[in-house]
Chain A
Amino acid sequence: MTDMSIDDYLAHGGKLTSPGNVPARYRGELLRLIASFVDSELAASAGFADTINDAPGIKSRIAAARIVLEKADHAERVLAKMAEFGVDTARYEGVHPWAARVARDADLSATRQGGDMRLSVFHYPLQGWVDAVVMNVVQGLAANVQIAEMAQVSYQPLAEVFRAIGPVEARHAELGLEGLAHIVATSEGRAAALDSLAYWRPRVAAGFGAAQSERFERLARLGLRHRTNEALQADWATALDAHLADLSLI
């Protein structure tokens, strides 16, 4: 009854349940996925913190503060899964300067910066309230698609965390859409929003990764990925276009 290798088991959709039954290469790729999410959340939270003071009213201040709080909370919950692999999480939290940003016109495409595994989009600086709201909408809708994908990972304890935080992350994008609806009510707001959209859309798109990816193939065999980068990106583009059409932004 036990004549099945872990590789076969994973290739057939099997789930792993604790660090004790995780093979070496799986461990490396899993921790990499976790690090990428944690770094992105910490950078997103840190980057958005300044936005609280840019918010035009109390409701928007609360929305921005809530996003900062909850993204840090999500980073902590996912980082806790790393702790089960022996990672010193207290030290990890300080390993990179999460608020650091590159110049607005830097060109990073999708490459990681050193050991900081945040998605490259989180290296770019926000410029004021409208820019922050637009970025939150565009990246927030991408996060919905990416978290739905992560909620399927074959490491069950991690998948469960992603299923728990998915609805809260989705609410962040909704808060962004509500803010954006206010912004586009004026013609200056609409013009500023269009400028920001042109800036953020290609940078968020790059975060989905290359269309033909060897890494995807390897991760798919381990059950750590399921749908291709292209399919995820297409889902995001469809969702984004629908919302932008509602706001007459395309």
Chain B
Amino acid sequence: MARFLPLEVTDVQKDTRDAVVVTLRPRAEDAARFAFTQGQYLTFRRDFDGEELRRSYSICAGLDDGALKVGIKRVDGGAFSTWANEELSTGDLLDAMPPMGNFHLPLDGSKGRHYLGFAGGSGITPVLSILKTILAREPKSRFTLVYANRQMSSIMFREELEDLKNIYLGRLSVLHVLETEAQDIDLFTGRIDAEKMTALFANWVDPDDVDAAFICGPEPMMLTIARSLKDNGLNEDQIKFELFASGQPGRAKHKAASTAADSGEACDATVTLDGTTRSFRMPKSGESLLDAALANNMDAPFACKAGVCSTCRAKVLEGEVEMQTNHALEDYEVRQGYVLTCQCYPLSDRIVVSYDQ
């Protein structure tokens, strides 16, 4: 099960107006658990007004940097990223889970490969970790980074990338694509679209020469690039993705409490699944909420029916339920109203539940 451990903030560096690079140190006894693979991320948790938020940020350090660092860019309305940018300081403790993620390929120091990296905005953080590691551990390999940003001033790690180009002369190429600032060459202005990808492969990079590609950025960019890479002959195994942030909601909502009397034998249940809401009456005992939904022809998701697999997870928006067994949800999920519907029996006379949240 997921476990949080404390990390000490040993440095906070402002990288751009909207981004900080945070250096973290695990306790001596946790050091082995925080050994990471390039391209992985850390998940942090923090209480905001009594409500726990969890956010994942990619490690931007290479394997040989000797430090654990994450880049945190402020997003509009983002409680965690704003806090990290404005208030986090040296000496603070942050709770984090050990590194996770599969955004990497095996290293081989004897190979001379050509890697392509595509990063959009703060999507640079894991790509930086990967390219630093590859350049250090695969001395014959090359890395071409295509890096999209809104404008010059929002480019994260700009100076560090320049330094890396000098250290690894001829092995690292960086192509900046800026949305709002015109540059000398057309390829470099605007967004990364199909046309730019075609130009990239026509003028800058021979696709037959590419061994693998890493993409991290917003959804439309990932789609465009992946399609173009496949059109140019790369297969699924050669393309690694990391999608960031957008699946993470800004702030969890509080569940509304029902004030109805709770004396009856049965309960009015209102259940939402795939945008469709259905109401039915169900007994307060003998039939789980999942079974009641299934009996009412709702194709609710489930698997083990034993409170273990969490496939049947849903959120209680109104009313109270009792969960008999829970081997899957964590305390913070339960506090937010999540339940395993296969183990759920209503306590109140009315419940409102959604599988869509």
Which residues of chain A have a CB within 8 Å of any CB of chain B?
1-4, 6, 8-9, 12-18, 20-25, 27-29, 31-32, 35-36, 39, 82, 84-88, 91-92, 95-96, 114-117, 151-152, 156-157, 159-160, 163, 214-215, 218
Chain A min CB distance to B80 (Å): 12
Residues A92 and B102 in contact in the complex (CB < 8 Å), given A28-B312, A214-B299: no
- The answer to the question of B250 belonging to the interface, with a C-beta cut-off of 8 Å to chain A, is no
Question: Are A35 and B304 neighbours in the complex by a CB distance under 8 Å?
Answer: yes
In the complex, chain A residues whose CB is within 8 Å of the CB of B302: 32, 115
Q: Tell me which of A4, A12, A27, A114 contacts B218 (CB under 8 A).
A: A4
Question: Are A23 and B247 neighbours in the complex by a CB distance under 8 Å?
Answer: yes
Question: Are B313 and A28 neighbours in the complex by a CB distance under 8 Å?
Answer: yes
In the complex, chain B residues whose CB is within 8 Å of the CB of A12: 223
Chain A min CB distance to B214 (Å): 11
Question: Are B313 and A17 neighbours in the complex by a CB distance under 8 Å?
Answer: no
In the complex, chain B residues whose CB is within 8 Å of the CB of A215: 299
The interface size bin for chain B is 35 or more
Which residues of chain B have a CB within 8 Å of any CB of chain A?
1-2, 41, 43, 54, 56, 100-103, 120-121, 148, 179, 191, 217-223, 226-227, 236-237, 240-248, 273-274, 299-306, 308-315, 327-330, 333, 342, 354-357
Q: Tell me which of A22, A28, A92 contacts B308 (CB under 8 A).
A: A92
Question: Are B299 and A159 neighbours in the complex by a CB distance under 8 Å?
Answer: no
Alpha-carbon separation in the docked complex, A215 to B312 (Å): 16
In the complex, chain B residues whose CB is within 8 Å of the CB of A39: 303
7 contacts between A and B (CB under 8 A): A1-B220, A1-B221, A21-B246, A28-B300, A85-B328, A86-B333, A95-B309
Question: Are A31 and B247 neighbours in the complex by a CB distance under 8 Å?
Answer: no
Chain A min CB distance to B137 (Å): 21
In the complex, chain A residues whose CB is within 8 Å of the CB of B311: 28, 31-32, 35
Question: Are A9 and B219 neighbours in the complex by a CB distance under 8 Å?
Answer: yes
Question: Are A117 and B221 neighbours in the complex by a CB distance under 8 Å?
Answer: no
In the complex, chain B residues whose CB is within 8 Å of the CB of A218: 274
Among the interface residues A18, A39, A96, which one has the most CB atoms of the partner chain B within 10 A?
A: A18
Q: Tell me which of B223, B304, B314 contacts A95 (CB under 8 A).
A: B304
In the complex, chain B residues whose CB is within 8 Å of the CB of A15: 222, 226, 241, 243
Among the interface residues B217, B222, B299, which one has the most CB atoms of the partner chain A within 10 A?
A: B222
Residues A21 and B243 in contact in the complex (CB < 8 Å), given A86-B310, A88-B1, A95-B306: yes
Closest A residue by C-beta to B274: A25
Q: Tell me which of A8, A20, A25, A35 contacts B247 (CB under 8 A).
A: A20
Question: Are B243 and A163 neighbours in the complex by a CB distance under 8 Å?
Answer: no
Chain A min CB distance to B341 (Å): 10
Chain A min CB distance to B202 (Å): 24
Residues A24 and B355 in contact in the complex (CB < 8 Å), given A4-B219, A35-B303, A88-B328: yes
In the complex, chain B residues whose CB is within 8 Å of the CB of A96: 304
Residues A20 and B220 in contact in the complex (CB < 8 Å), given A31-B310, A82-B309: no
Alpha-carbon separation in the docked complex, A39 to B311 (Å): 14
- 15 extra interface residue pairs, beta carbon distance < 8 Å, beyond A2-B218, A21-B246: A1-B220, A9-B223, A12-B223, A20-B54, A20-B56, A21-B247, A23-B247, A27-B313, A28-B312, A85-B328, A86-B1, A86-B328, A114-B305, A115-B304, A151-B236
Q: Which 8 A-B pairs have the closest CB atoms?
A: A115-B305, A21-B247, A28-B301, A35-B303, A9-B219, A31-B311, A2-B218, A4-B219
Alpha-carbon separation in the docked complex, A36 to B217 (Å): 32
